[in-house]
Amino acid sequence: MTVPNISIIIVSWNVKNYLRECIISIYKASGGVSLEVIVVDNASTDYSAEMIIREFPKVRLVRDDRNLGFSRANNQAIKLSHGKYILFLNPDTVIIDKSIDMLHSFIENHNEVIVVGPMILNADGKTIQYQCARTFPTLWREFCGLSEISIHLKNIPSFSYINLDYWDHKDSKYIDLISGACMMCRKEIVEKINLFDEDYFLYADDVDFCFRMREHGLIYYLAEAKIIHYGGQSSRQSDDDLWLLRCDSTRIFFKKHKGLHYSLGYRAVVILSQVIRFILILISNIRKAKFPPKESIMQIWKLIQWGLHFK
């Protein structure tokens, strides 16, 4: 068997049409680099697996009988992969031009780089999703983001959320954290850190992954390489409150890497940030002579309840 340069791993759940478009874009953009594509289907009910079998016989399909989440599903595929590099890719993405080749060429020629990621564009193909290149979370950055102070003061770096909203993300640079929607990694280092942490079901898995990868090398944001990411196509089908899932995953990250007291402090930050957010919403709507949006108030209340539920 010819050993591929890159193993592309896609974890998919009920996004058949996006998955099809994603795989088509991979083969169009692959250029001269050899690759294998591994799809882990997390018990989809939209016949995604049948579509893969019928339309993409070269793709290696792993079918799970239940939704294992992002981390566990990726780990399954990593153990089956053969490439020197692994490209983790969301199913609701489209590769633009020769971006796979660009990422591969960069990491091949920069031995100090162990993770590289592209610019991620919204569905319009123009505006940038700032989560493509971020910094690691802290209590202060979480407070600024959850309270939405970062939106009101987005041009001031010290009030920025982890997405670094003051930076336009148009230039390439070394960075703390690349989005799990598309990141190319050295497989030997992925194995050295024991793959993804399976304590994360959804969200913060890429934060934890990059945090541990950074102990072995550098992470680079390559703005010249580009993909489109439709974003949240699987998660929005869930009945779970996504903000609560995000908070709980962030709490796990803080507990693992900052300690119990820091994770408890995060709960206090969530509560305080929602009080501030409520005040800002109230002031804004009083000026407009409107009632605050019911959805926002309900979300604030749920987050405060989460913050009070110590465990």
What is the domain partition of the chain in residue ranges? 6-237, 242-308
For the whole model, what pTM was predicted? Answer: 0.93
Distances (CA, A) of 42 to 52, 67, 111, 112, 239: 13, 4, 34, 34, 16
What tokens appear for 147 in the block?
């309270």
What tokens appear for 251 in the block?
């709490």
**In this predicted model, which residue has the larger pLDDT, 133 or 285?**
133
Q: Which pLDDT does position 144 carry in this prediction? A: 96
Listed residue (228, 254, 231, 221) closest to 137, CA to CA = 254
Torsion of the alpha carbons at 176, 222, 114 and 77, rounded to the nearest 10: 100
pLDDT of residue 123 exceeding 60, the answer is yes
Fold assignment, 6-237: Spore Coat Polysaccharide Biosynthesis Protein SpsA; Chain A (3.90.550)
Residue-wise pLDDT tens digits, 56-114: 999 999 999 999 999 999 999 999 999 999 999 999 999 999 999 999 999 999 999 99
Q: Which pLDDT does position 239 carry in this prediction? A: 44
